Amino acid sequence: MRTIIIYFYLNYHAIKSRGSGGKEAVCLLRQPPGGLIYNQKMKKYWILSLSSLLILLLGACSGNDHKSYKSVEEMVADAKASVTFISAQDFKKKVESGEKYYLIDCREAVEFDSVCIKGAINIPRTVLEAQVSDKAPKKRNTVYIYCNNADKAILAASVLPEFKYAHVKVIDGGLDAVKAKFPELIELNPVRDGAKSKAPTPASGGCGG
């Protein structure tokens, strides 16, 4: 016959109020031929302790799922920690390398219609979740995403992994950085059907929405 002694270190005051004298609570479990015998009082304490812990854990998870922010800046700062960046210089190298990729401009349509990076697909942040799978169906391809200065793109990039895009990079500095350093990659007044813009090899096939 085997005896298992389990020490439960419960709240001192809770045990003392029930006449335990502040001693450690001990639960003896024996397994004789007749079956398992255990201290019912300690079983109650054990169940209550587990229930309380479960409630706390569920509450913590719920809080994380519905995190609130005091400002857009705070939201961007939080999302920034989870995304990967690529510099304008390194992006230009990717363009010249012939790599297959998607280039997403997540600004609003009126901004895109004025100027964009050659080869970009316009998917505004406000409709990203609804349109990205249709406009960028090959989810193994790398996705480069930008806005004017990168803030909106950071928020968009933090969402894309939920849609199974494994390789997502934000162009650091956004359109402003590319336009300042490599104006040859910029197109003014792009045509959405891609007739005017001829990017080297983006998977999307041209600058258009």
Helix (H, G, I), strand (E, B) or coil at 84: strand
Which residues, 6+ apart, have CB-to-CB distance to 140 below 8 Å?
Answer: 166, 167
Same domain, 33 and 109: no
Q: Which residue has the higher pLDDT, 185 or 69?
A: 185
* pLDDT band at 199; cut points 50, 70, 90: very low
Same domain, 90 and 36: no
Q: Which domain holds residue 14?
A: 3-65
Same domain, 42 and 13: yes
Q: Is residue 207 part of a domain?
A: no
Residue 87 in this model has a pLDDT that exceeds 80: yes
Tally helices (H) and strands (E) across the chain: 8, 9
| Chain segment 154-163, per-residue pLDDT in tens | 999 999 999 9
Candidates 186, 149, 153; CA nearest to 170 is 153
Which run of H or E residues covers position 90?
helix 88-97
CB 83 within 8 A of CB 150: no
Q: Is residue 146 part of a domain?
A: yes
Same domain, 29 and 83: no
Same domain, 58 and 89: no
Q: How many domains does the chain have?
A: 2
Same domain, 49 and 92: no
| Chain segment 28-40, per-residue pLDDT in tens | 444 445 444 455 6
Residue 86 in this model has a pLDDT that exceeds 60: yes
